[in-house]
Amino acid sequence: MTAVPEGAIEVVLYTRPDCCLCHDARDVLLQVQARHPFQLLERNIDEDPDLVRLYGTEIPVVTVAGRKAFKYRVDRRKLERVLDHARASSR
């Protein structure tokens, strides 16, 4: 597990059980997190009716610093750029 510095960017993976694309997204997030530490939270949308209404079958969804960044697939290079931008904006 990667050490997360205080004040790290929050990345949320909205997922549900038995979602192959969600597993793929998590793998990419963990790979990038190893080089660019951020706080990773996972939310099972099935545990919150509001999230089910919001995302339905459009999962996985990934937000970075509260902004929707990815739907269905996570691109490693784009994630790195989004994280860099979020860090620069938070300074």
In this predicted structure, the answer to whether residue 3 has a pLDDT above a threshold of 70 is: no
pLDDT tens profile 14-66: 999 999 999 999 999 999 999 999 999 999 999 999 999 999 999 999 999 99
C-alpha gyration radius of the chain = 13
Determine the pLDDT at residue 62.
98
SS3 state of residue 33? helix
All structural domains of the chain: 10-89 (3.40.30.10)
